[in-house]
A and B are shown apart, each in its own frame.
Chain A
Amino acid sequence: QKEVEQNSGPLSVPEGAIASLNCTYSDRGSQSFFWYRQYSGKSPELIMFIYSNGDKEDGRFTAQLNKASQYVSLLIRDSQPSDSATYLCASPISGTYKYIFGTGTRLKVLA
Chain B
Amino acid sequence: GAGVSQSPSNKVTEKGKDVELRCDPISGHTALYWYRQSLGQGLEFLIYFQGNSAPDKSGLPSDRFSAERTGGSVSTLTIQRTQQEDSAVYLCASRLAGTDTQYFGPGTRLTVL
Interface size on B, residues (CB 8 A): 23
Contact between B42 and A97, CB atoms less than 8 A apart: no
Q: Which residues of chain B from 18 to 46 have any CB-CB distance to chain A below 8 Å in the complex?
A: 31, 33, 35, 41-45
CA distance A11 to B86 in the complex (A): 30
Q: Is the interface of B mostly helix, strand, loop or mixed?
A: strand
A43 in the interface (beta carbon within 8 A): yes
- Interface 0/1 of A4-17, CB less than 8 Å to B: 00100000000000
Q: Considering only CB atoms, which chain B residue lies closest to A106 in the complex?
A: B40
Q: Considering only CB atoms, which chain A residue lies closest to B107 in the complex?
A: A43
Determine the chain B residues whose CB is within 8 A of the CB of A97 once the complex forms: 31, 48, 50, 95
A78 in the interface (beta carbon within 8 A): no
Contact between B100 and A98, CB atoms less than 8 A apart: no
The answer, among B42, B50, B102, for a CB contact under 8 Å with A103, is B42
A contact set with B: CB distance below 8 Å: 6, 32, 34, 42-46, 49, 88, 90, 92, 96-104
B contact set with A: CB distance below 8 Å: 31, 33, 35, 41-45, 48, 50, 56, 58-59, 91, 95, 100-107
Q: A45-B104, A98-B48, A103-B41 are in contact. List 13 more A-B contacts (CB 8 A).
A: A32-B100, A44-B43, A44-B104, A46-B101, A46-B102, A90-B43, A96-B56, A97-B31, A97-B95, A98-B45, A98-B58, A100-B45, A101-B45
